[in-house]
Amino acid sequence: INYQLAKFVTSNAKAEQVAPSVRPEISFVGRSNVGKSSLMNKIFRRKDLVKVGGTPGKTRQINFFNVGDVDFVDLPGYGYAKVSKAEMDAWRPLIEGYFTQDRKYALCVLLVDIRHDASPLDVQMIEFLQANEIPFMIAFTKSDKLGTNKRRQQVASLCRQLAVAGDVVVVPCSSHSGDGVDDIRTLIEDAVAQ
């Protein structure tokens, strides 16, 4: 994948507006503020192709990026506490709508902050992805915030909380230090090559 080709394609506020999929798609999903935009920019080797720290209301869209033969999909962050109930639930039809279409789902990267306990929404998201047979991996973000031992402990603890078995690939990563980012790029390449 030649990330120099990465370009923004479009934003959709409704799942029904999303164009049919023509290339393998790599999607990114996780709680608001988990570090999704930062990680996508890091993978793209770009500073701000994906808007970092966007105001919650404005990020309730599905954003598409194209990188040559692969499309990247930035799904809305879920579970942000500081917005209205209506806004808080706006992500659900978008995410669920996107994942229940007839698309080329190559890999979903589910992001979970390595410092915090998993939220019930993270558990639900995994159950939803499994029920819909969407291939996924878990990226534990912001690994630079923890020391080596604590990092290892949190990975084990989060895997228990998320009830993921050994067959789910988990990668601690950091957009700041670059930890794990090459591993994620490799997993993306493998998923696209399948």
Would you tell me which residues interact with ligand GDP (CB under 6 A)? Answer: 32-38, 52-53, 77, 141-142, 144-145, 174-176
Q: Which amino acid is it at 132? A: N
Minimum Å gap between C-beta 58 and ligand GDP is: 11
The owner of tokens 């993978």 is 43
- Specify the residue, 24 or 56, whose C-beta has the smaller distance to ligand GDP: 56
- Specify the residue, 3 or 23, whose C-beta has the smaller distance to ligand GDP: 3
Q: Are 119 and 127 in contact (CB under 8 A)?
A: no
The owner of tokens 């404005």 is 58
Q: Are 138 and 112 in contact (CB under 8 A)?
A: yes
- Specify the residue, 32 or 61, whose C-beta has the smaller distance to ligand GDP: 32
Minimum Å gap between C-beta 145 and ligand GDP is: 5
- Specify the residue, 12 or 33, whose C-beta has the smaller distance to ligand GDP: 33
φ, ψ (nearest 5 deg) of residue 7: -145, 150
Minimum Å gap between C-beta 101 and ligand GDP is: 23
Q: Which amino acid is it at 42? A: K
Minimum Å gap between C-beta 56 and ligand GDP is: 8
φ, ψ (nearest 5 deg) of residue 162: -85, -5
